[in-house]
Amino acid sequence: MSVVVSTAQTQSYWASIDAEIDAYLKKSIPIRSPEAVFEPMHHLTFAAPRTTAAALCVAACELVGGDRDQAMAAAAAIHLMHAAAYTHEHLPLTDRPRPRPGIQHKYNPNIELLTGDGIIPFGLELLARSVGPARSNPDKVLRVIVEITRATGSQGMVDGQYQELGLDRLGSEYDVIEYVCKKKEGELHACGAACGAILGGGAEEEIESLRRFGLYAGTVQGIQGKRRPD
């Protein structure tokens, strides 16, 4: 019985974090002028599936004793970087003959390309603007910007996308799947957990142990996701 209660409590904890991140994102991306730019940005931000890496950022912040508010901009930035990557992964390029299933294209490819290009700097702008007396200090925010740009850039998520597209074959099919899941999901979750711990004022050991937890949890989640039909 206690297990049931605990599971329900855990689910409602994560659901409450997701709801707060969503509310923060909705407030941050009003549909303003130029509408032709912001309406797709709003739509594609919420069309991407939620990543638990963003929620993990908030949970890690609270775990080390920080306030939820301190991690909200970083969690939003992580979701935005993930949403931009998701949008670009589903772009119909001339050398991607197979349509990826399960996604409705509301906009034409030019708009989806440019919207992704706008979402990336917007996520980092949100984060850079999140400094304030009641919130985080500039050194922590800069450290978090470095964490997020690395995890989502050429040595992180982009490297995983290369492998996934078979642009740079590593080895056996299983090796590739493991590498892709580590780079795309593992390192994003590691980054989320580390950023939350940094912003919440965690000690270096706490930051590194939450990073390891995130890497493991994200990689396993990615591998489990691969078992389901796409």
Q: Which residues bind a second copy (CB under 8 A)?
A: 34, 36-38, 41, 81, 84-85, 88, 91-96, 108-111, 113-122, 124-125, 128-129, 131, 137-139, 141-142, 145-146, 148-150, 152-155, 158-159, 161-162, 165, 167-168
User: Whats the size of the chain, residue-wise?
Assistant: 230
Cβ nearer to a second copy, comparing 9 with 154: 154
How many CA atoms does the CB half-sphere of 41 hold within 13 Å? 24
- The encoded tokens of residue 202 equal 């965690």
Tell me how far, at minimum, the Cβ of 104 lies from a second copy, in Å. Answer: 16
d(CA 146, CA 102): 33
| Residue 104 neighbours by CB distance under 10 Å | 6
Contact between residue 74 and residue 144 where contact means Cβ atoms under 8 Å apart = yes
Cβ nearer to a second copy, comparing 130 with 219: 130
- Cis bond leading into 109, ω under 30°? no
Cβ nearer to a second copy, comparing 17 with 41: 41
Cα–Cα separations (whole angstroms), residue 58 to 124, 161, 203, 215, 227 = 17, 26, 16, 16, 28
Cβ nearer to a second copy, comparing 155 with 224: 155
Cβ nearer to a second copy, comparing 118 with 201: 118
Tell me how far, at minimum, the Cβ of 8 lies from a second copy, in Å. Answer: 38
Tell me how far, at minimum, the Cβ of 32 lies from a second copy, in Å. Answer: 9
Q: Which pairs with CB-CB distance under 8 Å and at least 24 residues apart come from 132-135?
A: 135/69, 135/70
Tell me how far, at minimum, the Cβ of 129 lies from a second copy, in Å. Answer: 6
Q: What 3-state class would DSSP assign to 225?
A: helix
Cβ nearer to a second copy, comparing 17 with 130: 130
Cβ nearer to a second copy, comparing 62 with 89: 89
The DSSP output letter for 98 is S
Q: Write the burial class of residue 74 (CB in 10 Å: 0-12 exposed, 13-18 middle, 19+ buried).
A: buried
Tell me how far, at minimum, the Cβ of 128 lies from a second copy, in Å. Answer: 4
Tell me how far, at minimum, the Cβ of 182 lies from a second copy, in Å. Answer: 13
Tell me how far, at minimum, the Cβ of 159 lies from a second copy, in Å. Answer: 5
Q: How far is CA 45 from the centre of its chain?
A: 11
